[in-house]
Structures are given as C-alpha cells and as structure tokens.
Chains A and B, each alone.
Chain A
C-alpha cells in the first residue's frame, strides 16, 4: 500500500544546474469548495455590457474544436472576431480526424457516473499532475457540451429506443463516451464549424483561411495583435486586437511521425513562448498504443486505430519466442496459434482493467514485449489487436436476438462481423486500405505512436497565459490532463474551453479594455515584429544549402523518439540535447528552401515550423531531464518499481513545470506551479 505523504513545499526539488528556484506562478484558482468554485467565479467575474462588446476585437488563431467554438460563442456575445487557420477551410482543422468519442458525465447508462467520478478519473488518469479546480470545472460543464452539440444537429450514435448511445474508453469503469461511429471529431467539428459559419454570415466573424500566424505582438506587456502571412500571396499583415486566443492544437509533430495532420505545428505556441508566455510541462506527450506500425522510411505519418477498438479487441503476442519469430518470417499465421500459445499480456498484468488500461500503460507494455523479442511484424515492432472473440460474442447475441435455433459457427461469425462492421467499419476499412490486410479475418497489427501533447502554453484558471490578453485553449494549452490524457477527453476539453469557459473568463480582462479604443497597428512594436518575421523568412530562403526541410524534420523526429519517447533516461536526454543543437546548426547552414517569399510556398511554411520544432524539442528534453520521476506518459527509467511500473515522486515533483524563455532556447528558466490535492487522495496509480 502506498500512502500519500504531504509534499514538502519548503524543500524544493533538486534542479538542473543553473536553474533558479522560484514559485511565483499564480494560477488564480477561486477560493471556496471545489464544487462551488466555477459558479462562484462566474458570479464574480467582471462583465462587459453588450454595447461595449461591439468595441472589442478578438483574434482567434485556429479553427479546430477550441477555436471554432470559442469564435462562435464570442461572436454571439457581440465581440468582433477574426479567425485564422492555415488550411483552405476552417472545417479541415485537425480536430476533424478525432475518431473514438467525447466524454461527458451524463450518467445516461446509470452506471454510477457523476461529475466527481469524471473529475476523479481524469486526475488519476493524469497521474496526479493536473490542477484540481480546472479538471472539476471540465467535468462540470461536460454535460452541457452534449446538449449543445445535439441542439446543433450533431448526429451522435443512438440506441434503438432513440436515446444516445455510449461506449467505454481506457482508464475508466463506466460508459460515458458519446460517439458518432469512428468519426466523432468530424461530427463535432462540423457542428462547431456550422456555428462559426452562422456568425460569419452575420458579419460578426471575419475568416482568414490560408493565413498563418507568424508572431504575437506585445505592447506594454499586453498582447495586442498578431503578424500573419497570407499563404497564397506571401503578404505579411498586421492585425490588432484587444485579446488574442491561441487555439492552435498540439505539437506531436516535433516527433515527425505522429498521428497528427501534416500541418499540425507548434509555431504559434512557440512564438508566444518567445514573447513571454511560459510553456507548461513540455515533455508530457502521449503515445497512443494502437496505431498502424511504421512500414518504411518514406512514411509521412502514422494512422491511429481508435482506442474504442480496445472495447472489443484483445491485445496479445505469442507466448513463445519461436512462434513470434515464425510469425515475423511469415511462416506462421496468428490464427494458427491456440489460446494457450498466446500471451494476452494486458489481461495478464492488469486483470482489473485488462485491455482498457490507460494509454501510457498500454504503450509501455507493448514496447516491453517487443523489446523482449515478441514483436509480430517484420520490424519486430508490432503486437496483435484481435477481434475474433468479439466477433464470436456479438454473433451469439445477435443469433439469439434473431431467434436463430442452433446457428452454425459460420452463421455466428457472419452475424458477429456485421455487428463489428457497424461499430468500427470505417476504421477497419482504413486499416485494410493502408496495410492490405483484412482485420475481420486476421488480427490487426498495431504499435504505439505519438498522438497528443498534454504539455503546452501555461494558462491560469481563466485560460490566460503569462502574457496578459493572450489566451490559450484546446490542445494548445498545457491543459487539464496532467501527465496523461484519458481517451475521449481532448474533444471534451476543446469544446469546454471554447463554448463554456473562455466566453466567461475573457470578460474579466476585457472589462478593463472598453475604453482602450481600436488597437492601432501603426506602432513600433508591430513594425518590429513584422520586420523580424520578414527577416526570419529571408534567412530561411537565403540559406541556400542542399538539404530539404523534411530531411531535418525526420532526423529531429528520430532523436526525439529515441531519447524523449516512450522511455527516457538522463544519459539519453543529455545526448539528445547535444544532437538537437547540432542539427539546429546544420539546419541554419545547409537548409534549402526553393521558391520565393512572396508566393504560395509550402516548403517555406514547413521550414518556418521546423525551425521552431528544433527549439521546442530541446526544451522538451530539458524538461524531461529535470523531472526525475516517472509519471503518466513520462517514464524515467531511473524511477520504476521492481515490477517495472512507473514510480512517481510526489515529494519532489508535485508541480507543473512552467518554462520561461530568456533569449536562448538552451537556457530557459523553470517556474513551478505547486499542485495541491484537497479533494482527492493521491495514490500510486494501479490498474491491476
């Protein structure tokens, strides 16, 4: 039994050499009991009256779930909103790709769910590294999200009775996930996009698609606008506003290969960081256990197979090394192995949660088996995700609902396949399209891949960054997920931030801006920022070396995956820092970007983003080096139990790392937001 020891705030953690110890961050959490904080805060927040809202301009960068929902809500309230996205349409933001579902504590299944339970699961799932008050608020508004989406016409899956259906996701023991087949993100985003479109048609939102934010402009310590680039013409523009909201998504692509879209990037966040926004927990990234394995060096991205599949799929590898070898050589088919020749290692190691352990646990377990030589594809980096028993189980139920008397085995299988198809059809098709294997007949092969960034721009309870007037929402902020996010909670957080949190909290700041008047872009700060952007672009295009930007990106990805991926140690991280610096030097001396600055130039866009990844990657390693404990997605080899499970160090690391940029990416300063748990008992996580 592990009992919780109160962390000793007076004796802070041992730090990296040269890093100062200060605890100055104020997360502005309202006082009062947990359940009353949000209502109380809403009651006390300063308001902007409707007539004055018309005098206020807000820039939203990003049109994913967070950006679209925030923009629509703020425009409805009367603010003037500009929305930026780099895709050709706001509907193509990466939220569109989310598959499995969205959580909400509706307790429609009557299985004991509640706001507290969702709060509890999220804090525990995040390995006790998230902020209690934020997570509770998230759980509290989760139900309204579903109401809102249904009102917009989002076609969630329903039961035969016409009521909403739910499924289960990893790390929880209730069924609280709402879904629309394997396309939940698409349906939710199209809902938010429709709300956004409605406000565009009313003239309350100006949409700037194919525009990229290049920098934030800070005047007298406040965010006052952005520099943007029209990606079609190359024109550099100034946009002023009373507040800027970054909803720019996650930075998983620092690893080059990830489940993120090709364009997903960290630049907006990184530029904000360089202007003074602290970066929270940069090393906390999520590795998703069920993705299609890498097939070749040309690979451009990895495809997720939704976590919902773990509801029905069983994960295994052969019990014997010889069988694994034979399967790798193509001499044996997985279907040839009897039950007792298979190792359902998650069910074996974690009987209470089985295949539904959280993502970090499932990923590490897969790596462990493959490292031991049990991998099942050519590269030895894959495990099976098998639907045979689900097909049989569903087939039997279906046969009995249809009153089939003594159905044959093949009838059962056919019926079962139809059920599985109705649940996961599009995912199975996608798998088959990519691998040319039929997952209805042979088990899928899967392997962990980078998927989500829990880390991000540090924000206070109001979602404001350390730059007044600059906000961050959705995956871009360091978020409510601590060191590990539970499945189906990112969509929930994006929409909670955009529909229900930011529209209130931003008023607290803007109430003092009603007399400011329009923000002029004719200032020295705008000019300097613009010149800096132009200089950076010129530098990239004039380097005139020989190597295309993708080459650098791929190499950075390999360094990150090797040393700052599924497991980390001091030696490796220190090595990675050196390698990244070298790569950065080479980038600025041997990069080749074709084309022109004043033109549609996708290679230049990529170079601008990879330049930032090359700095963020180093910060991630610095952060991982500082955190000598294992927690959530961050597994430090030096900190594990005898059974190889992650071992947290609450005495020394119950805090959020918030890094301040001070002129050199290799020399950030650490600030700590100490985390306190008053409403939840802190324990070592156990899913056994």
Chain B
C-alpha cells in the first residue's frame, strides 16, 4: 500500500476504531511522505529523535499548513483550525524561548515547584465525584462510561482549576464538540458535509475564544479564583501573561484539560473488558493499575499526533531527508506499536517493562497536564474496579468520534450486575 493511501485510510472516519492496520502499513517507511510537504513519522526511534531535535519547530506560523491557509481563498482541509486555538499562539504551537516562558508561567499556577499542592489537593474531590456518579448508576444495569462517568470528572476538575464557571459547561461543551468535529485532516474534509462541519467548527471556535477572552478580561479587571486569574495577575519572575496570550492558552488548557482524559478513561474500561482476566488481575494487584493505564495509553493514545510541527532545516532521519519547510506529523499512536521497540505491540500487558510510550508526547511539549490526568484516570479506574460488579461490553467496537487527533469513543455502553456499596 502506498504511504499516501495508507495515510488517507488511517484518517477516514470509518477506520477510526482501528487506524492501527494502516499505521502498520505506513511504518514500512518509518518516515513517509504522504503529500507534497507532509511527512508522517510512525517509527519509534525516528519519532524519539525528531521530538528532541531542535531543528523541528512547533511554531505553527512556520508550518506550511499555516502558509497554505493564509494563501488559499478556501483553506485546504489540513490547515483548518490549526490556529483556531487562538490568534496568539498557545504554548503547544510555539518554540522556545516563547514556549518555555509561557509554560513556566502556566506551570507556576499549576504544579511544582511553585504550586506543588494544587493537583494532589484534587484527589478527595475526584474520588467523591466518581463515587457519586456510580451511586447514580446503582439502580440500573447499564451505563455509558463516556457521558455518565468519564466526562464528568475531568470537566468538573478543570473548571475548578482554571476558574471557568461550571454553569457554562453546556455552552462550551457544544462549542468544543463542533470544534472537534470540524477539525478533519482526512479525505472527508473535502466533502460537502465536511465543509459544513468545518464551517460550524470555525463558528463555534470563535464563540469559545470570545467566551474565554471575556472571562480573562473579567479577571484582569477583578482578580478571582483559579489559574487563569492568577496567570494574568502574577508577579512572578516572568511577570503576568498578556491577556490575548492567556486566552490562547486558556483555550488549550480547557480543551486539552479534559477531553483526552475522558478518552483515556473510556479506553481503559474498553481495554480491560476486551482482555479477559484483566479486571480480576487489577483487583487482586491494585499496584498494577498505574502501569495498566500507561499501557492503555500506549495502545490507544488519546492524542494520536499533533500537527503543528515542521522542519527548519533539511533533517535526515531513518534513511529519509525531510526537506526544510515540510510539515512533520509525529504519530504517537503509531510509534507506540512499533514492534522494533515494543515486543508483541498489539498485546495489552499491564506488566510490560520499560514502557516508554509516547502517549503524553516527548520532548519539551510533553503533556503539561499529565499528572492531573493520571490522578483522575487512576482514581476513576480504582473506583470503577471496586464498585462495578461483572462489567461487560455491550458493543465492540463502540462508536467513535470523528476527530483524528483527539481520538476516543463517542459512547461506551457497558452492562453490569450491580454497583457495590461505597466502602
């Protein structure tokens, strides 16, 4: 199969539940050209090298996708929405020193060394919420893990941390849904329906950006609770973050701050139920839960890739020269199943040794919120394992959402015998 065909297949909606067959095809050329100026990296070692190569830029304004977008009357599909995260670049789409400074400013309000207690302090609340949600499922025998369990926890937590009112959740949930559905890097983007989705996505993204700007402007005028307010009012060594930049990062933090966590919780449940004996194994040895979660992320990376990168020079890697100016997609989900790095890569093995997967990225853009997400997934899974008796999948594969980057089930129905009392 030619790389461009394998790539198009992997991006097609009908293959969302299993793009891995096509990734295996693609990996026959670990660094493959799939369009004039797009190189897709599916080999583990090649990806590792590029993720740490200072000649690879994440600055979206240097990406040919962005240039195309600016030049074309009708933006080509792969350029859609890349900058919709905000006119100002957020940290994920920028390079040092700008990136490092923005990340430091945000981290100051979020984690160590300046705010070491914030994330740990969330644990009791997360546990309470998980138990409440399962409590609601007590009288029934079927639950949608996405809508009725996985989603509620991270969205509640990130609102609290950022200082985004939870009352606004209905509104931004719908905007984010459109944003996700409209951001399409596959062949379907060019269809009429695809264009409609893209237009809707653009509108909703604009609305969401507007909403966050308003929120931040409010915090500039009157400081309040939460990370966003502290970000624009900080007097730390790097000073306060300028409001437009804070808005761009707020959008990133709000979306990245819950969506992938939901997908990971769903994939954890899905993977355990697909592999007989694993629920029992983790109940018997809860010490394995954290490793099982990482193994799920390896297999079902919630962020499959992030299409911001490009080459600032000709870069030789894996026998290919990526020409200066090309876009580079680091395919985390594909490299995570490279048999040259992970023996028996398709197998779920919670005891896998040296599981250095790319589910959280690699290099300086490694996930900012990883510790929070892990805490949420750990607690959600622990509570699920303690309380849900005899869980079974209702449909396999479950229906998936459209988005290729942020990949996860739309719904995940499971049946169970009963919900145990909360101990």
- Answer whether A and B are interacting partners: no
Residues of A within 8 A of B (CB): none
Residues of B within 8 A of A (CB): none
